[in-house]
Amino acid sequence: MVASSMTIQDILPYGPNKSNSKKLDIDAILPFIILPLLLVICTLSRLVTIIVMILIGMGALYAQSRPRNKNRSPFFYHWTISSGVCMFLVFEFGILSLLEITQLENLIFLVLLSSTCYFFYKMKAVADFELATGGSKGKEYSPVLTSDSYYCQICQIEVNERFFHSIWWDCCVLRPNYIYFLSGQIFSFATLLYGTNLGLTTVCQPYILYGNILMPEDCNDVYYEFDLALCFVSCIYGLGYLLVTSLVLIRQILIYIPKYTEPQWKKLINVLTV
């Protein structure tokens, strides 16, 4: 009877499992629809660009400030993926089509982007391995948490040493994968800084800052053509991501890097004091 019941629930088109999987599919698809639509709306005028970018920022702050157990949706992770895909496609098919970026500059951009993707992929892979093996719980897991750990309601594992869960990558950042998270953030910062500078100096009138370094100066004419406006607003969106990445890196320097390197420093001190 149990096997029969399970089979019937699986066959029913509106069973609980089907509704949950359908919701997950919608959450995964929506970012790839909403973000391109918002970027297209931004191309209407400078005022519309400012309003939409402020709304996106407010939405991100609201999602980040919510309790961890309420951010179970994969929507935020797929928003990160859709952001990277959209900015990459605009750069490769929009900005490069203006024929003002050299092959060497594009190669440097692709190397930085590939390094970013590699480190974040490794971060996710290690987090999934820890979740599958239960390595972060320890051999004898106890529901009584220590003062230096908390229980992640989303991953349902104990996060030791007060590392954290990232809703934007849909995984916990632990000691085993923290170095990949930090490296990914550093390369992400470099990729966004380099890519947005190339994009803005291509669609706007640039000026020479120092040597061969260009900076955008006059961007008043970008909204007269759709392709230029789309490249411009994508770069502005990338600058917003660059600001967030900068804040994340500052937080790592002040809080998590000292915590991550503390055991190594203790070992070195113990060796020197012997």
pLDDT tens column, 216-250: 988 888 999 999 999 999 999 999 999 999 998 99
Structure tokens at 58: 């407010």
CA-CA-CA-CA torsion for 75, 81, 82, 86, nearest 10 degrees? 170
Q: Take residue 79 and report the two structure tokens written for it.
A: 């928003």
pLDDT score recorded for residue 38: 96
Confidence at residue 221, expressed as pLDDT on a 0 to 100 scale: 87
Q: Is 221 helix (H, G, I), strand (E, B) or coil?
A: coil
**How confident is the model at residue 238, as a pLDDT?**
96
What whole-number distance in Å separates Cα of residue 97 and Cα of residue 90?
10
Residue 112, classed as helix, strand or coil, is helix
Q: What is the pLDDT of residues 115-160, one digit of tens each?
A: 999 999 999 998 888 777 765 554 334 444 444 555 565 565 555 5
Average pLDDT over residues 22-38: 84
Please state, in angstroms and as integers, the Cα–Cα distance from residue 5 to each residue in 13, 20, 57, following that order: 14, 18, 47
Would you give the distance in Å from CA 199 to the centre of its chain?
Answer: 20
- Give the pLDDT band (50/70/90) at residue 39: very high
> What per-residue confidence (pLDDT) applies to 17?
46
List the domain boundaries for the chain.
27-132+149-260
Find which of 79-88, 215-224, 250-259 is predicted with most confidence, using mean pLDDT.
79-88
Sign, CA torsion 39/41/43/46:
negative
pTM of the model as a whole: 0.79
Q: Quick one: pLDDT at residue 32?
A: 93
Element (H or E) spanning 171, and its range?
strand 171-173
pLDDT at 131: 72
Distance CA 196, CA 258 (A): 31
Buried (b) or exposed (e) across 52-68, using 16+ Cβ within 10 A? bbeebeeebeebeeeee
Query: pLDDT tens digit string along 196-210?
Result: 999 999 999 988 888
**What does the pLDDT look like over 170-195, one tens digit per residue?**
888 887 888 999 999 999 999 999 99
Reported confidence tier of residue 213, pLDDT bands at 50, 70, 90: confident
Give the Å distances, CA to CA, from 41 to 2, 177, 196. Answer: 53, 38, 20
| Angle 17-21-27 from CA coordinates, rounded to 5° | 150
